[in-house]
């Protein structure tokens, strides 16, 4: 599990982990913020993917011949942060549904 954290980029994965902790704390202290922080986590993960793809394409531009397996590996690494961000977003929505008062 930790290898995915480091493969996904320590900056983006750290930001997403901080947002996960913020969701868990806000579920207890400020329940209205849970959905907003979940949306921010989703946007952060999309930024992580875009920066990952930008790095992948800049390496492809410099290199003359690259095996397709390296390109696929780069795409896989770029998508790690979006998977983590989606899990955080889904968790925030579940917490929001659980906290919704019943009528």
Specify the DSSP class assigned to residue 100: S
CB 85 within 8 A of CB 45: yes
In whole angstroms, give the CA distance from residue 47 to residue 40.
11
Q: Please determine, for residue 39, whether its predicted confidence score (pLDDT) is greater than 90.
A: yes
Look at residue 42 and tell me if it is in a domain: yes
Q: Is residue 54 part of a domain?
A: yes
Total Cβ atoms within 10 A of residue 12: 21
Residues of the chain with pLDDT > 90, as a percent, come to 45
Looking at residue 44, its pLDDT comes to 94
Number of domains in the chain: 1
Give the mean pLDDT of 27-56.
91
Q: Check pLDDT > 70 for residue 102.
A: no
Per-residue three-class SS string for 11-74? HHHHHHHHHHHHHHHHHHHCHHHHHHHHHHHHHHHHHHHHHHHHHHHHHHHHCCCCCHHHHHHH
pLDDT value at position 103? 40
Arithmetic mean of pLDDT, 66-78: 84
Distance of alpha carbon 9 from alpha carbon 78, whole angstroms? 9
- pLDDT over 70 for what percent of the chain? 97
Asked, for residue 103, whether it belongs to a domain, the answer is: no
Tell me whether residue 21 is in a domain: yes
Which structural domain range is residue 40 located in? 2-98
């Amino acid at each position: 599990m930790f290898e995915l954290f480091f493969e996904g980029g320590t900056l983006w994965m750290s930001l997403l982990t901080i947002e996960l902790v913020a969701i868990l704390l806000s579920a207890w202290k400020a329940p209205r913020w849970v959905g907003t922080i979940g949306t921010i986590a989703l946007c952060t993960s999309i930024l992580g993917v875009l920066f990952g793809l930008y790095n992948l394409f800049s390496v492809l531009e410099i290199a003359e011949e690259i095996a397709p397996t390296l390109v696929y590996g780069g795409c896989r690494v770029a998508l790690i942060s979006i998977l983590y961000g989606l899990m955080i977003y889904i968790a925030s929505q579940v917490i929001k549904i659980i906290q919704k008062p019943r009528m």
